[in-house]
């Protein structure tokens, strides 16, 4: 049985493109009020204008703790509640660890792990006081298997998986669900930063990647389960995949 999201308030990080933007469109159609957060204010403003409805645009760098605190507080001040926290913002850096930029790896961990924890830590008191809510993390298939070509990224997603699993058990009695979506390769801007043009074209022909909209559909399914049902993990893979 599907549970209505009409009127619920959702914060989406990394909302300017990819899975975040696709999920914003899906939730807007369900009648959600949205707080859209990302570094690119122009992209957020364009998305909010296209969505219509009640959207709050929040320019934020999720590697900065003060920006996260401000994002949560401004959302709560504007809407008076927070029902859904989609911790979606992330960065993908593959390659040989020894040849990579250690500072870039550190920044990835701040965004992929620390920001997720800070978002959850900031909304739990709000959700507890209002009787419940949903924290949903965009993880990765890399959080379930060890991918040799992306050691630090895989480590970040393994950390997120463990965090989500243990946090879920701590806050369940407060009416807060903690869920994780783990997609395989997604044809979105984060992936394309590291792929040559011929690979992009091959993906379009072969269908070996998911679309951002596939992930948004999965998120919508997770959020619309009845309150007593938690989709702890949803692993989403394209049909043609070697993982």
Q: Give the chain's length.
A: 243
Q: Of 219, 222, 239, which Cα lies nearest the Cα of 18?
A: 219
Q: Residue 13 is encoded by which pair of tokens?
A: 């990080």
| Helices marked H in the chain | 18-29, 41-51, 65-79, 102-109, 115-130, 151-171, 189-192, 197-206, 212-223
Tell me the C-alpha distance between 139 and 41, whole Å: 24
62 CB contacts (<8 Å, ≥6 apart)? 13, 14, 37, 68, 89, 111, 115, 119
**The three-state (H, E, C) secondary structure of 112-171, written as one string:** HHHHHHHHHHHHHHHHHHHCCEEEEEECCHHHCCCCCCCHHHHHHHHHHHHHHHHHHHHH
Active-site residue flag, 105: no
Catalytic site residue from 153, 164, 178, 209:
153
Active site residues: 153
């Amino acid at each position: 049985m599907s549970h209505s999201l009409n009127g619920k308030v959702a914060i989406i990080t990394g909302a300017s493109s990819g899975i975040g933007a696709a999920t914003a469109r899906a939730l807007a159609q369900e009648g959600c009020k949205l707080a859209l957060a990302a570094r690119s204010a122009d992209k957020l403003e364009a998305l909010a204008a296209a969505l219509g409805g009640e959207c709050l645009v929040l320019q934020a760098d999720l590697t900065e703790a003060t920006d996260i605190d401000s994002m949560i507080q401004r959302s709560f001040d504007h809407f008076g509640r927070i029902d859904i926290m989609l911790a979606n913002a992330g960065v993908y850096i593959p390659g040989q660890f020894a040849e990579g930029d250690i500072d870039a790896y550190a920044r990835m961990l701040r965004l992929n792990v620390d920001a997720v924890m800070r978002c959850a830590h900031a909304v739990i008191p709000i959700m507890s006081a209002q009787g419940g809510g949903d924290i949903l993390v965009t993880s990765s298939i890399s959080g379930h298997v060890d991918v040799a070509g992306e050691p630090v990224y895989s480590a970040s997603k393994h950390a997120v998986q463990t965090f989500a699993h243990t946090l879920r058990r701590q806050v369940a009695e407060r009416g807060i669900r903690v869920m994780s979506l783990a997609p395989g390769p997604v044809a979105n801007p984060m992936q394309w930063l590291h792929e040559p043009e011929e690979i992009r074209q091959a993906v379009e022909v072969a269908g070996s990647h998911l679309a951002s909209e596939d992930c948004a559909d999965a998120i919508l399914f997770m959020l619309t389960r009845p309150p007593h049902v938690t989709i702890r993990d949803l692993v989403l893979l394209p049909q043609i995949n070697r993982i």
